[in-house]
């Protein structure tokens, strides 16, 4: 974390802003889950440094080689399912219980927020725990954990229409789910404060969500180990990990 004295001042400022906000929303990115041992995509240890996204996370890649895509996703699912929520996830869940955080908008496809206890979570990029039908006119879905063993043996097919099943995530080149995106925009518009945590702020339209709050007269608070494209717009920006910073904020809020 940045110089202790400076960071301490910023943390007190953030706690004050959250405490006095009538509506606080949170936007999280891969950085918060990285602290649970889930690799990020664009950080120094990002998964895309080892794999080309066009080979693994596009509809075209799935059509060309579904076995390769499923092989990577079964590995990724097992990795994600084996991880636990970290202090950052838990602090946000506790703030929600205290009625200080109204919703969490996440770019992450894991369910660590929910497992930490958060209830109002909006998944912009889908959920890795779900497997869905690749036929857009079919609504079939199943929990990934229940068929992982089957997937490792053979490509999974939909029991209702016979099409291939696919991970329930948004791939590159696909549109975000309309309902979730609409909810996210609505939350940003209502917010007096939006906490932006562990996101590189380069993936659209998620990166524009904090700016909606800003345009409506609200404040952007950024928590990130690195500066981002959003840092210049933030009212408060603290350099540090989500777990450390959010735990410190929570401790102040509990005292007040």
| Helices marked H in the chain | 4-19, 30-34, 53-56, 59-64, 66-81, 87-97, 112-116, 148-153, 178-190, 209-215, 242-255
pLDDT in tens, 208-232: 999 999 999 999 999 999 999 999 9
Sign of the Cα torsion 245, 246, 247, 250 reads positive
How much is the pTM?
0.91
Catalytic residue among 89, 113, 123, 125: 125
pLDDT in tens, 118-134: 999 999 999 999 999 99
Q: Is the pLDDT of residue 71 over 60?
A: yes
Looking at the chain, the domain(s) classified CATH 3.40.50.1220 span 1-37+86-125+176-256
* 125 is an active site residue: yes
Task: Quote the DSSP letter at residue 163.
Answer: P
Q: Is the pLDDT of residue 51 over 80?
A: no
CATH code reported for the domain at 39-82+126-169: 3.30.1600.10
pLDDT in tens, 4-38: 667 789 999 999 999 999 999 999 999 999 999 99
Looking at the chain, the domain(s) classified CATH 3.30.1600.10 span 39-82+126-169
Q: Name the one residue in this structure whose structure tokens are 């974390």.
A: 1
CATH code reported for the domain at 1-37+86-125+176-256: 3.40.50.1220
Contacts of 205 (CB under 8 A, 6+ apart): 176, 181
The phi and psi torsions of 165 (rounded to 5 degrees) equal -85, 155
């Amino acid at each position: 974390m940045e110089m202790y004295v400076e960071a301490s001042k910023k943390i007190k400022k953030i706690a004050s802003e959250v405490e006095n906000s009538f509506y606080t929303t949170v936007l999280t990115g891969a950085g918060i889950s990285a602290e649970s041992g889930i690799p990020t995509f664009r950080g120094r240890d990002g998964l895309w440094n080892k794999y080309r996204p066009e080979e693994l996370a596009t509809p075209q890649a799935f059509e060309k080689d579904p076995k390769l895509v499923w092989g990577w996703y079964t590995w990724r699912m097992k990795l994600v399912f084996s991880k636990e929520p970290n202090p950052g996830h838990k602090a946000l869940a506790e703030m929600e219980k205290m009625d200080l955080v109204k919703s969490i908008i996440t770019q992450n496809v894991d369910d660590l927020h929910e497992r930490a206890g958060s209830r109002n979570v909006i998944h912009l990029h889908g959920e890795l725990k779900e497997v869905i039908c690749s036929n857009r006119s079919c609504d079939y879905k199943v929990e990934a954990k229940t068929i992982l063993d089957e997937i490792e043996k053979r490509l999974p097919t939909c029991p209702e229409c016979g099409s291939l099943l696919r991970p329930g995530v948004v791939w590159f080149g696909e549109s975000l789910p309309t309902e979730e995106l609409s909810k996210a925009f609505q939350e940003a518009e209502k917010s007096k404060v939006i906490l932006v945590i562990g996101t590189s702020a380069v993936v659209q339209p998620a990166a524009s969500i904090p700016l909606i709050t800003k345009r409506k007269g609200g404040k952007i608070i950024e928590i990130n180990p690195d500066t981002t494209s959003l840092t210049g717009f933030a009212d408060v920006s603290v350099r540090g990990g989500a777990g450390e910073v959010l735990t410190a904020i929570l401790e102040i809020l509990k005292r007040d």
